[in-house]
Amino acid sequence: MCTNDLRNSVIFAIGDKFASDFFTGTVWLNMLTPVGSALPIANVTFEPGCRNNWHSHAGGQILLVTGGRGYYQEWGQPARELHAGEVVQIPADVKHWHGAANDSWFVHLAIEIHPEKGPATWLEPVADADYDKLP
C-alpha cells in the first residue's frame, strides 16, 4: 500500500509523463529552467517503485529531495534512503541511480552540473532482485 501520493502536493508542478527507456515505472518531468540552460534544473516525480537506470553525469549532479521516500545508490555502495529536505551531491562520472521506494511517491529537484561536458551516460537497469531487497 502506498503511504503517500504527492502528485497533488508538490512544490513545483508535476509536469508531464516522461517516456524513457531509462526508467523502470512511470516518472513525470517538469523542466524549471529552459532546455539548453547553463544550469538545467528539473522537478522529477517518481511513482512508487519507479527508479532510473544506473547512469553517470560527466559534470556531476545535485539532488534536492522535496517529498516522499526514495533511494540513492552509488555503484559498489549500499543504497541510501532519502526523505524531504535531504541533499545528494553526486561527483562527476560516478555511476549511480535514484528513485522511489516501493510504497512511496518520491520527488526531487535534479540539478545538472556543467552540462556542457555532455549528457548523462545511461547504463543498465537496477536489478529487480537488488531493488526488491530495499526496505
pLDDT for the residue numbered 115: 95
Report yes or no: 93 and 118 within 8 Å, Cβ to Cβ: no
Cα–Cα dist 10/60, whole Å: 25
Closest of 79, 66, 85, 74 to residue 135, by C-alpha: 79
pLDDT score, position 6 = 59
Q: Give the model confidence (pLDDT) of 64-99 as tens digits.
A: 999 999 999 999 999 999 999 999 999 999 999 999
Residue percentage of the chain with pLDDT more than 70:
93
Q: What is the DSSP pairing of strand 106-112 with strand 87-90?
A: unpaired
pLDDT at 86: 97
Q: What does the pLDDT read at residue 128?
A: 97
Rounded distance, CA 106 to CA 76, Å? 23
Q: Which three cell numbers stand for residue 18?
A: 516522461
pLDDT score at 35 = 83
Which residues of the chain carry a pLDDT beneath 70?
Answer: 1-10
Which stretches of 40-92 are assigned E, i.e. beta strand?
A: 41-46, 51-52, 55-56, 61-74, 80-83, 87-90
